[in-house]
Amino acid sequence: MTIFDAITVLLVIGGLFYIFDNHLPVKLWITAYFSGVTVKFLDLVFMRIRNVNPHLIVSQLITATKAGISVTSVELETHVLAGGNIRKVIKALISSQKANIQLSFQEATAIDLAGRDVYEAVVISVKPQVINTPKISAVASDGIELHCKAIVTVRINIRRLVGGAWKETILARVGEGIVSCVGSSHHSEILKMPEKISKNVIDKGLDKGTAFEILSIDIADIDVGKNVRATLEKEKAEADKKIGEANAAKRHAMAKAKEQEMCALYKERQAEVVQAEKDTHLAYAYALRHSLIKPEEYLKHKNIMADTSMRESVGKKTKKLKEIPDKNK
């Protein structure tokens, strides 16, 4: 054999080793076999053809088998092809098994594909989580505003995790329950017995249809706000006052307009009186000029008018004197 033939044989052997090592998962199959995991060699080859990482499948299959979880490579591959995270699924199954929580592989994959963190769900179901509500403002039956903060202790219910409402719904329902309880009670009752709110809210079963179980609701803080009833009554009084002032201004304006109208009418009547006096003088002049009346009759008429004017003047002065109170009495 020449040197050229030897080099050719070495290249062929190296090429075959490269192909077996990089394209045929021989080492991975051997690792799975000696780990007690049953997986066919062709399945590993087909995983690469389907663009699935066989190392991930085999490693998680070994982890599950060592933990005593019954799962197949086909189930793991199916979940990966569906876009799931098999690392979190296997980790969640192991944690639930150690915590004596009933969780099957199908349930875990369904939770994972629903967009929930299945491992976090198992952790919260083992260790309850505390949710702090924001400050909730409610008005008591006597009109006093109260600002309440609550601490809600919840635990995830694995069975209701798929399709169940999340934390936002719990917070909204707790806030609604607090507002309802405060609104039906006197503010002094709430301040003396804040546990009344907790009992009332828990009895309503606010965790129905959610992924959580409410373990407890504790009122952390209650602050007294403003007197809403007094504020509303004050605002109503101010509004009534403004309405009264507007009506008074309207009547005043109407009275002023009426006064101006009467003044104009008075001026008009005065003008008519002056015109009548003018016509009277003209009539007397015409009568005297044409000897329709005698001068003595005209003078007699003037004396009567002067006497009438004097009597009216004396009557007005007497009336004013009667209106002046007597200081000696």
Residue 101 pLDDT = 87
Domain 131-230 has CATH 3.90.180.10: no
Q: Can you read off the two tokens belonging to residue 83?
A: 């876009």
Q: Which sign does the torsion angle of CA 219, 162, 83, 99 carry?
A: positive
Tell how many helices (H) and how many strands (E) occur in the chain: 13, 4
DSSP state of 102: -
Contact 190, 146 (CB under 8 A): yes
pLDDT computed for residue 309 by the predictor: 79
Q: Could you give phi then psi for residue 103, rounded to 5 degrees?
A: -145, 115
The residue behind tokens 């601490």 is 151
* pLDDT (0 to 100) of residue 42: 80
User: 190 with 196: CB under 8 angstroms?
Assistant: yes
> What tens-digit pLDDT sequence spans the chain (329 residues)?
567 666 676 666 655 555 555 556 777 888 888 888 888 888 887 888 888 888 899 999 999 999 999 999 999 999 999 999 999 999 999 999 988 888 899 999 999 998 888 998 888 888 888 999 999 999 999 999 999 999 999 988 888 888 788 889 989 999 999 999 999 999 889 899 988 888 888 888 888 889 888 989 999 999 999 998 888 899 999 999 999 999 999 999 999 999 999 999 999 998 998 898 888 888 878 888 887 878 788 788 778 878 887 887 877 777 666 666 655 55
Q: What is the pLDDT of residue 246?
A: 94
Longest dimension (CA), the chain: 183
What is the reported pTM? 0.59
Phi, psi at residue 154, to the nearest 5°?
Answer: -125, 160
pLDDT at 286: 84
**What count of other Cβ atoms lies within 10 Å of the Cβ of residue 39?**
23
The full set of domain ranges for the chain reads: 3-126, 131-230, 292-322
Give whole-number Cα distances, 223 to 60, 156, 177, 228, 318, in Å.
53, 31, 18, 14, 75
